[in-house]
Amino acid sequence: MKSILLFATLTLLIYSCTTAVEQVSMGTTIFAVKYRDGVVVGADTRTSVSGYVSNRYATKISFVLEDDFGLSLNRPSDVQLKSSLLDAHQKQLLQKQDQQTETLSSSPPFSTGCICRSGSAADTQYVADAVRHQLLNRKVMHHTSSSISNLAHLLKNYLYNNELQASLICAGYDHVREEGVIFSIDLGGTLMEQHDFACNGSGSGYILGHIDKFINARDFSCSRMSEEEAVEFVGSSIELAMDRDGSSGGVVRIYVINRNGKKKILRTPEKYDVQKKIESDQMKPSNILSHFAPAVR
């Protein structure tokens, strides 16, 4: 009987070792740059399991602070104010909120923030969903709008208190500071604010020299760039990383974030466009079929 149990245990152990599924990781290139009116963020779209590409068009930029979740900062109605459920402290908070109405009307009452995710796909998706739920709960319970700084510190706490394989970039337009803000959160929860740009992922090491050359060639910081310059800078940098890094690929997703919200740009690497142009020039009516099958003689 003992030999049968031992054999069954060994069989299960061998089976579990041979069928262990590797963790889906996002060896990636994520990049965020400040510009004149906000920030521009970009990422590739390749997700891999070891050497196998599991998804060619993954979304690695998650918006967790956007349009104030569709909720307003209006006061409760008179019926709600007369309710006994509101104590004196809550009524005092409502009066303080009314005093800030003029300030909120002159500036956008919400920040637009996103998370650029690299590391374990499962861990980064969990962090994004948990933080978004917590920000929404704060909005509903305390009637206040969160800033990019609040979002970055929440991410830092999640990465510090949990053993998560994630390295993030938190970027967006902050309605409190009225400018674009970029934070990088490394593995383990180290939080740092970046003044010009933040680059992370397996492909970031290939383009740091290109980024330094681009910035040093100008006498001003990235925060003075126009939107067109920032978009071209982010797109070309990620394309260079995709050429060298085997874990980065697909297309380039770019988001422009400012006081008006976000704008999405999908960019195809230039080498694919050049290849299509060469193929189209060679595809004449006389030899179209020769590209698909050899001639039958």
**Which residue numbers are catalytic?**
28
Q: Residue 88: what are its φ and ψ, rounded to 5°?
A: -65, -35
Interhelix angle 208-216/227-244, rounded to 10 degrees, is 150
Euclidean distance between CA atoms 272 and 253, whole angstroms = 16
Token look-up 């992370």 returns 200
With b for 16 or more beta-carbon neighbours within 10 A and e for fewer, the 144-178 pattern comes to ebbbbbbbbebbbebbeeeebbbbbbbbbbbbeee
